[in-house]
Amino acid sequence: MDIYETGGGDGIIKMNNLKKNIKTTFYIFCLLFLSLMSYLTYFQLYERQKLIESSYNRRLWEQESKIKRGTIYDRNGVTLAETIDLGTEKKRIYISGEAFGPLLGYSSMKIGRSGLESALNGELLGIAQKEPLSLLRQKIYGLSQGNDVYLTVDAELQKKAYSLLEGKRGAVVALEPETGAVLIMVSSPGFDSNKVEEQWEKLKGDRGLPLLNRALTGLYPPGSAFKVVTLSGVLENFTGIEKEKFETKGYIKVGGRVIKDDNSIKPGEYSLKEAFAVSSNAIFAGLGLRLGRDKLLKIAGDFGFNSKIPFEMYVKKSQFPGHSLMDSDVQLAEDSIGQGKVLTTPLLMASIAQIIANHGVYHSPYIIDKVKTPLGQVKVNNLRTVRKTVISPQTADIVRDYMVEVVEKGTGKAARMKDIKVAGKTGTAENPHGEPHSWFIGFAPAQDPAIAIAVIVENGGSGGKVAAPIAREIIEYYFKIRNRK
C-alpha cells in the first residue's frame, strides 16, 4: 500500500487495489472449479461402482436386456439355468425343474428377482467386476456376456431329495462335513422357475408357500434334535458325566409343569448314552436345569444360534432365548429339549450335524464353488475359509458315538443301513400348527463322514418314522451315485 501512496495519485492506488482484488477473486474461482473437477474425479473412482449396482438404478434392467446372463451349473457341470438368445429377445431357461425353484429363484422384469438369481445378480450380469483392466477389455471386445456360476450343489441328489418330499412341506439341507459345501438345498413345495411369471398370482396365494426357501428362512422348533447341543454342553461342562446314571419316572415336574417322556420309554435307570438314544425328555430337561441358562446359552451360541450366518443368501437368524423377565426353570427345561422358544433354520441344523461330523470344527456353509468370467478368469468364494472350533474333538467324538447308538438301537432305527454306519438324531417338535414337525439330523459314514444332513417334514409326525427314512434314502442314493462315478 505504501508504495502506491508515494507512487501516484488516489485513482491509481484504487485501480491497483481493484486489480489485486480481482486476482484474489479469480483465485477463489480457480479453487471452486478445481473442487468441482476433483469431486467429479473422486465420484468416478470411489462412488461409481456402488451406484451402478444399486437396486434403485433402473439402468440395471436396461443393461440386462443387452447382456446375456451367465449360466448356473451344479458341481458336476450340469446346467441348471441358462439364457438363450432368440435374436429379438433373451430367454432365461431353467432346466432343473421344481426341485431348484426356491433355491435358484427367478429373474423377471415384471416381478423382480429372488433366490440365487437375486443374490448373484451382479456376477451373472458381469457388472461386479472391480478390476479396471477387465472392464476395459470388456468395453473393447464389446462383451455382452455375464459370468458363469458353478454351485456346490449336486443336481441329481437335489432332485432325489425333492422327490422324497413330494407332496409334503419341508426342507432338506446336506453339507460336505469337511468343507461346509452345500450338496442339497431343497424346499418343498417348490416351483418351476420357467413358469413363475404366468403362475405368479397362484404361487403368491398358495398356502404351501412355494416361493419361500424354507432351508434358509423357515424357522422351526428343533425338538429333540436340539439335544445334540444340550448333550455337547453337558459333556463340555461336566467331566465324567458319561459314567453317571440317570433316573426317569417317565416325566419330570418343573415348577408345576409336567414334561413327559415318549410312551415307549420305560421308567427306570439310564446311562447318558441310553437316555440320548431313546431321547428321554425328562432326563434331558433335568440336564438342562443342571447346566443352567448361562452355559446352555453359551453352547447354543457357539453352534450358531442368535447370530447371523454368513452365506451367499439371506439366512434368518436362529433363536435361543437368553435371560429375560419371563425366564424360569420351566422355560429352561423346555428350551433344553428344543421346545419352548427355541427356533432354528434347517441350514443351521445341517451345520450342527456338520460340526459333530467334523470333530467339533464348524465350516461356514457355502453354495458357490466358483465364478468364471467370459475371459476365463476364475474367482474363488472366500466363504470357504471361514471356520471355527465349536467343541473339543473328544466331546464331538462322544456325541458321534451316541448318535450312532441312536440309529443302531434308539429312535433313529429307520435311518439304519446295511453296510454304512449312520450317526443321527431324531426330533419330534411340538408346534401350535397341528401335528409335530418331523426332524432328522445326521451324517454318514460315522467314522469318516462324507455327507451331513438335516431333514424336516412340517407336521409330519414322529421324526423316527417320517424324516429318518427320507434321510436314509438320500444317503443311500448319495453313495450309490458316488460309487458309480
The CB density around residue 290, as the number of other CB atoms within 10 Å, is 13
**435 by DSSP, 3-state: which?**
strand
Contact of 279 with 410, CB cutoff 8 Å: yes
Could you tell me which stretch among 44-52, 187-195, 218-226, 410-418 binds other proteins (CB under 8 A)?
A: 44-52
Q: Looking at 2, 56, 89, 243, which residue binds other proteins (CB under 8 A)? A: 56
Number of residues lying near other proteins (CB under 8 A): 34
Q: Residue 179, class by beta-carbon neighbours within 10 Å (0-12 exposed, 13-18 middle, 19+ buried)?
A: middle
Find the shortest distance in angstroms from Cβ 59 to other proteins.
5
Cell readout for 438 is: 418331523
Nearer Cβ to other proteins, position 40 or 84? 40
Sole binder of other proteins in the list 62, 166, 197, 244 (CB under 8 A): 62
Give me the residue label for grid cell 424336516: 456
How long, in residues, is the chain?
A: 485
Long-range contacts of 43-51 (CB under 8 A, 24+ apart): 49/130
Amino acid at site 183 = L
Listed residue (464, 472, 469) closest to 427, CA to CA: 464
> What are the distances in angstroms from CA 421 to CA 126, 183, 408, 468?
45, 20, 8, 14
Interacting positions 150-179 with other proteins (CB under 8 A): none
Q: Is 483 in the site for other proteins (CB under 8 A)?
A: no
Q: Are 255 and 328 in contact (CB under 8 A)?
A: yes
| 174/242 Cα distance (integer angstroms) | 30
Q: Tell me whether residue 14 or residue 341 sits nearer to other proteins (CB atom).
A: 14
Identify which of residues 18 and 378 has a Cβ nearer to other proteins in the complex. Answer: 18
Nearer to other proteins, 17 or 385 (CB): 17
Is residue 58 a contact residue for other proteins (CB under 8 A)?
yes
Is 130 a binding residue for other proteins by CB under 8 A? The answer is: no
The upper half-sphere exposure of residue 434, i.e. CA atoms within 13 Å in the direction of its Cβ, equals: 7
Q: By C-beta, is 23 or 308 nearer to other proteins?
A: 23
Instruction: Return the residue of 21, 76, 271, 324 that touches other proteins, per CB under 8 A.
Output: 21
Look up residue 484 and give its amino acid. R
* Contact flag: residue 59 with other proteins (CB under 8 A): yes
What type of residue sits at position 440? F
> Among the candidate windows 38-46, 222-230, 372-380, 455-463, which touches other proteins by CB under 8 A?
38-46
- Interaction of residue 9 with other proteins, rule CB under 8 A: no
Q: Considering only 53-61, 167-175, 180-188, 394-402, which stretch makes contact with other proteins by CB under 8 A?
A: 53-61
% helix, strand, coil for the chain, step of 5: 45, 20, 35
Is 15 a binder of other proteins (CB under 8 A)?
Answer: yes
Comparison of 32 and 326: residue with beta carbon closer to other proteins = 32
Please report how close the Cβ of residue 125 comes to other proteins at its closest, in angstroms. Answer: 14
Q: Where are the alpha helices (DSSP H) in 337-392?
A: 346-357
Q: Considering beta carbons, is residue 18 or 93 the nearer one to other proteins?
A: 18
Q: Which is nearer to other proteins, 40 or 378 (CB)?
A: 40
Pick the binder of other proteins from 7, 9, 19, 327 (CB under 8 A): 19
Cross-strand partners of 73:
79, 150
Which residues form the interface with other proteins (CB under 8 A)? Answer: 14-15, 17-23, 25-26, 29-30, 32-33, 35-37, 39-41, 43-44, 47-48, 51-52, 54, 56-59, 62, 139
